[in-house]
Structure 1
Amino acid sequence: MIAKNMNLYGITPSVGRLYGKLYFNEDPMTLDDMRDALEMSKTSMSTGVRALSEMKMVEPAFRKGVRKDLYKSEEDWYKSFTSLFGNRWRHHTETNIEEAEETIQELEKLYHVTDDQQLKEKVTKDIERLRYAQNYYRWLMRFIQVVESGEIFQYVPKQ
């Protein structure tokens, strides 16, 4: 169930299974524990843990007398979602804003070097559309901030 749901957020089924195993396990686990439980390579476990850690869905743990690295799942799914959503959407949204600006600059150059009136009209319309897109992406950045800050829970309370 968890692996299927995590696929909605762009997380592979194997990483989803890893998170599910950590979530339902009572105690923190080593990479060897995970490998044995999921019958996957230690390299796959390490890559999966790193990905989950970057998304703040897994964190290091400590147990007295254990020298190997231990990991446990983040229990707060709301926190995990806001972190995952923010990280993924922020990167893509920032990229879209930058690419739109670069395209606008190129179109403005084209506008100033051509005498073709139809082309100038087309360029002007395209620039307007790109500015509209930038405004949308700036709005989306504000929305991402509302999610990341936890302010979203004032509007859509946790249950």
Structure 2
Amino acid sequence: MRGIWWVVAAALVVGLVAAYLIWTAGRVDRLHARAELAARALEAHLLRRAASAAVLAERRDGVELYAAARIALDARPEEREAAENDLTRQLRAVELDPGDPDSETVIAASRRLALARQVHTDLVRDARAARGRPLVRLLRMGRRRPWPRYFDIDDPTLAAPADVPAG
């Protein structure tokens, strides 16, 4: 009778370890999926900001801003960070009037981009942390997906003159 309890206890321990491993693998997979979705959302916000900057540049005859916006729109993935940083610098050099609908569109797109970038960064950090745990690495739970990558750009938030505190 005593031997049966050892078998039951061992089966229970094996079942709990298996449940934990399945849960951990699912968590790693979900975090990777969320990071990939955040990357797609970030890409969409990058495109919206570049498009609204191009419209603003066309209406104001801003040649440099238009060129930076076109480069950001057409950039290959490995060139994207540099192109977006250049666009941010060009946008900061332009005087934005909050009463102008084109300026307001660029400011709003930049704010949404900043939020999307923060969400993406948080999810990439979480996915990398989960994938970096010793048990996950040992059992290669994340091998089906590539390592999530950060998108490292300057803070894209633009301040309209009304947003800047006086003095």
- Calculate the TM-score normalised by the size of structure 1: 0.41
Higher relative contact order (CA 8 A, sep 6+): 2
Q: Which has the higher helix share?
A: 2
Q: Which has the higher strand share?
A: 1
- Calculate the TM-score normalised by the size of structure 2: 0.39
